Amino acid sequence: MNSCCSLADLGYGTVFISLQDLEVRKVEFSQQFAPGTLDLVGDLRQSGSLKTQGQAELLSEHRGGKNVVKDIRVRGDFSTEIEIRCARCIEPVPTRIGGDFDLLYRPLGVDAGHDERSISEAETEIGYYSGEGIQLEDVLREQVLLALPLRTVCSESCRGLCPGCGKNLNTEACTCGEQPPDPRWAVLADIKNKLK
Ligand SMILES: [Zn+2]
Ligand SMILES: [Zn+2]
């Protein structure tokens, strides 16, 4: 008897969830992606490997007559490590994130005329696919971005960057706070003293 689906069977690399496969059966995935696989926005970097497992299936939505919409439901979980910039000193902070997802993808354009936007806003779990299926990495990239904390600091005691010279005050000292007083004020102070 085959021992199926233990974590040792983790696959590596890209996964395309195709309609063709889904027509036949559910597609189960149990994958690991190397660091840097996800193409993230801005300064974000996938610094740890990403593990995910779950399944995809086809749901037929009967919309009257012969109008059947083929939705792809993708469920699963993921975990990875992302480097996020500290909000104060902009040093990269490795941050573990993960979560569950349960998503429905409709063919792009199928809701046209039904106001695609209002549907996706009311039910945020609905997305759209085009072509012959969905790239699993695209699903994961979106889930990673949604799971990111709103604000990250390297430590609660982070001293940030000096607004004067831009030095990282956690690692460098600067003299911006110790400038000699403006000489014009010294003159005024002198006059004031003489008036006393
Ligand atoms: Zn910091
Ligand atoms: Zn400074």
pLDDT 10s digits, 8-33: 457 787 899 999 999 999 999 999 99
- Measured in angstroms, how far is the CA atom of residue 164 from the centroid of ligand 2? 5
* Residue 48, SS3 per DSSP: coil
- Measured in angstroms, how far is the CA atom of residue 191 from the centroid of ligand 1? 45
Specify the pLDDT at position 1. Answer: 40
Output the six-digit token pair for 137. Answer: 């990495």
Output the six-digit token pair for 10. Answer: 């983790």
Q: Which ligand is nearest to the CA of 160?
A: 1
Output the six-digit token pair for 66. Answer: 């012969």
Specify the pLDDT at position 5. Answer: 44
- Measured in angstroms, how far is the CA atom of residue 79 from the centroid of ligand 2? 39
* Residue 160, SS3 per DSSP: coil
Question: Which residues, 6+ apart, have CB-to-CB distance to 22 below 8 Å?
Answer: 56, 57, 58, 72, 133
* Residue 114, SS3 per DSSP: coil
Q: What is the mean pLDDT of residues 28-44?
A: 94
Distances (CA, A) of 67 to 61, 70, 84, 110, 123: 8, 10, 45, 10, 22
- Measured in angstroms, how far is the CA atom of residue 160 from the centroid of ligand 2? 11
What's the distance, Cα to Cα, between the start and end of the chain in Å? 102
- Measured in angstroms, how far is the CA atom of residue 153 from the centroid of ligand 1? 5
Q: Which ligand is nearest to the CA of 175?
A: 2
Specify the pLDDT at position 172. Answer: 94
Helix ranges restricted to H, the chain: 19-24, 116-122, 136-147, 183-195
Q: Which ligand is nearest to the CA of 158?
A: 1
Q: Which of 59-68, 108-117, 121-130, 140-149 has the highest mean pLDDT?
A: 140-149
- Measured in angstroms, how far is the CA atom of residue 46 from the centroid of ligand 2? 32
Is the pLDDT at 112 greater than 50? The verdict is: yes
- Measured in angstroms, how far is the CA atom of residue 150 from the centroid of ligand 1? 15
Is the pLDDT at 2 greater than 50? The verdict is: no
> Phi and psi at residue 71, in whole multiples of 5°?
-95, 145
> What span, in angstroms and rounded, lies between the C-alpha atoms of 43 and 59?
37
- Measured in angstroms, how far is the CA atom of residue 151 from the centroid of ligand 2? 24
Burial 59-98 (b: 16+ CB within 10 A, else e): eeeeeeeeeeebbbbbebebebbbbbbbebbebbbebebe
- Measured in angstroms, how far is the CA atom of residue 160 from the centroid of ligand 1? 6
